[in-house]
Chain A
Amino acid sequence: RKEVEQDPGPFNVPEGATVAFNCTYSNSASQSFFWYRQDCRKEPKLLMSVYSSGNEDGRFTAQLNRASQYISLLIRDSKLSDSATYLCAVTYNNNDMRFGAGTRLTVKP
């Protein structure tokens, strides 16, 4: 079993749709959680950190469920520019970061 698992998608949604991505992690000692966005042939860029209380940044909402070892990302009112691969990342002891394989999103007009 992989340490961090994501639904690979692809998710194809129309503009304005709400889309949710899920991520599970296997190590209960995980300490920090992140969502990164990666455009084709580019580096991952931090989208948001994920806190136990959940956090929101504009159209993006991230949730963490430590009991179920699960994090989620919700994108509301999706834009064409949201098309990318979304990577879930988890760290242990603030050292090495483990990534999921990513979920690909395409937003269509």
Chain B
Amino acid sequence: DTGVSQDPRHKITKRGQNVTFRCDPISEHNRLYWYRQTLGQGPEFLTYFQNEAQLEKSRLLSDRFSAERPKGSFSTLEIQRTEQGDSAMYLCASSLSGLEYGTDTQYFGPGTRLTVL
């Protein structure tokens, strides 16, 4: 399967614990995005990377959240001191950006479902 992959698929944790999620984008894609989705809502943008550079962060991304993409390939999203309100599906998407590629279409991974007890 050459699509976007995410690990783990499910995570249950207790309030106050730290969690880390991983995303592996489609191999040639230079952009990687993180979103959060709660029940009944569309995905909400959190942050994105172009190669290894984190170019934009949403105000939703509090200081408890940090994302990295150290080598411009896979990315990690860490949540420190989790709260019950962090319970959501965390989605990763990737795209190939550049004028020669046309519209910057994003392809999503299966998501990591986080439950904070």
Contact = CB atoms under 8 A, between A and B. Distances in A.
Q: Do A and B bind each other?
A: yes
Interface of A: 4, 8, 32, 34, 41-46, 49, 87, 89, 91, 94-102
Interface of B: 33, 40-45, 48, 55-56, 58, 91, 93, 97, 103-111, 113
A92 to B, nearest CB: 10
Contacts of A91: 104
B42 A4 contact: yes
Given A95-B55, A95-B56, A101-B40, A46 B107 contact: yes
B110 A101 contact: no
Most buried by B among A95, A96, A100: A96
A44 B108 contact: yes
Contacts of A101: 40-42
B56 A43 contact: no
A87 B42 contact: yes
Given A91-B104, A96-B48, A97-B45, 8 more contacts: A32-B103, A42-B110, A43-B110, A44-B91, A96-B58, A99-B44, A101-B40, A102-B41
Contacts of B41: 101-102
